[in-house]
């Protein structure tokens, strides 16, 4: 009886330890007034713990996949805990922007035979543009900052499912910002202007699949040579 109990305890401890190691990935983030540096830029699916330190002389914040720290004063630190299970690239933003990639293998197929239904034929162009045939209701968090064009806004999730989307707008900058989307057909969709360090939301209908160009609605009008997009599927 004593030996059986001892074996049970050892197995339980081993199981907890393995799960804990597999589930959590630590990442160190250092922010200066010029650049944001990560100790790693990829990880397996699971929980990531970002230990963020502001090593600059100005206040800064760190955001990834729509999650963000509070604004850190010089010399201050914070921890950002994020759970990411989809193997894609997620934009991060500090004083510079980049992409953090979740890498993982495709789940093994099930042994059961799936039921296959024939979808209604849809005419699409070669670049994947087409009508939204399976609209859903979803929520997307948009983090807005004062950075340059690329990386100024982050969207989570991205890609975005087509249908009725509520965009939760979080302005982390010191200037007002607004969300402007242009669908593949050239139709413009806009949200409210959000003041510095304020939150707001807007519900938009995305009835076309494809690449939507996004802009800050308050940027000066004129030709734009660098464009940024989100995918609507």
Domains within the chain, CATH numbers bracketed: 20-102 (2.60.40.420), 130-232 (2.60.40.420)
- Torsion sign over Cα 116, 119, 121, 123: negative
Determine the pLDDT at residue 38: 95
Determine the pLDDT at residue 174: 82
Determine the pLDDT at residue 54: 94
Q: Which residues contact 101 (CB under 8 A, 6 or more apart)?
A: 41, 42, 43, 88, 89, 90
Determine the pLDDT at residue 94: 85
CA–chain centroid gap for 46, Å, is 14
Determine the pLDDT at residue 138: 95
pTM > 0.85: yes or no: no
Question: Under a CB-based contact definition with an 8 Å cutoff, are residues 167 and 154 in contact?
Answer: no
DSSP string, 109-149: PPSSPPP--PPPP----TTS-EE-SS-EEEEEEEEE-SS-S
159 cis-preceded (ω within 30 degrees of 0) = yes
Task: Please give the chain's pLDDT, 233 residues, in tens.
Answer: 444 444 343 334 343 344 434 479 999 999 999 999 999 988 998 899 999 999 999 998 888 876 788 889 999 999 998 888 777 777 788 888 788 888 875 444 444 444 433 333 333 333 457 899 999 999 999 998 877 555 578 899 988 999 999 999 998 888 888 899 999 888 999 999 998 889 999 999 999 998 898 888 877 555 555 567 888 98
Question: Under a CB-based contact definition with an 8 Å cutoff, are residues 181 and 204 in contact?
Answer: yes
Cβ-count burial 101-140 (b if 16+ within 10 Å, e if not): ebeeeeeeeeeeeeeeeeeeeeeeeeeeeeebeeeeeeeb
Most distant pair of Cα atoms in the chain: their distance: 80
Determine the 3-state secondary structure of 19 from DSSP: helix
Rounded Cα–Cα distance for residues 35 and 43 (Å): 21
Q: Which residue has the tokens 């922007």?
A: 97
- Torsion sign over Cα 166, 183, 193, 70: positive
């Amino acid at each position: 009886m004593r030996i059986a109990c001892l074996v049970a305890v050892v197995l339980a401890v081993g199981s907890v330890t393995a799960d804990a190691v597999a589930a959590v990935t630590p990442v160190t983030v250092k922010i200066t007034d010029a650049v944001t540096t990560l100790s790693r830029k990829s990880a397996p699916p699971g929980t990531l713990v970002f230990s963020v330190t502001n090593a600059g002389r100005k206040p800064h914040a760190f955001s990834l996949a729509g999650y963000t720290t509070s604004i850190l004063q010089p010399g201050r630190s914070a921890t950002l805990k994020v759970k990411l299970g989809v193997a894609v690239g997620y934009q991060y933003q500090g004083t510079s922007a980049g992409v953090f990639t979740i890498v993982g293998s495709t789940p093994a197929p099930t042994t059961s035979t799936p039921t296959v239904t024939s979808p209604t034929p849809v005419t699409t162009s070669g670049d994947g543009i087409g009508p939204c045939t399976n609209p859903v209701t979803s929520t997307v968090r948009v983090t807005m900052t004062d950075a340059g064009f690329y990386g100024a806004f982050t969207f989570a999730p991205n890609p975005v499912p087509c249908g009725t989307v509520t965009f939760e707008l979080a302005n982390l900058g010191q200037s007002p910002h607004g969300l402007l989307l242009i669908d593949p057909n050239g139709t413009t969709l806009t949200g409210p202007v959000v003041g510095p360090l304020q939150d707001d939301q807007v519900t938009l209908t995305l009835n076309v699949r494809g690449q939507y160009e996004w802009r800050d609605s308050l940027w000066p009008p004129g030709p734009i040579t660098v464009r940024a997009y989100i995918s609507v599927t």
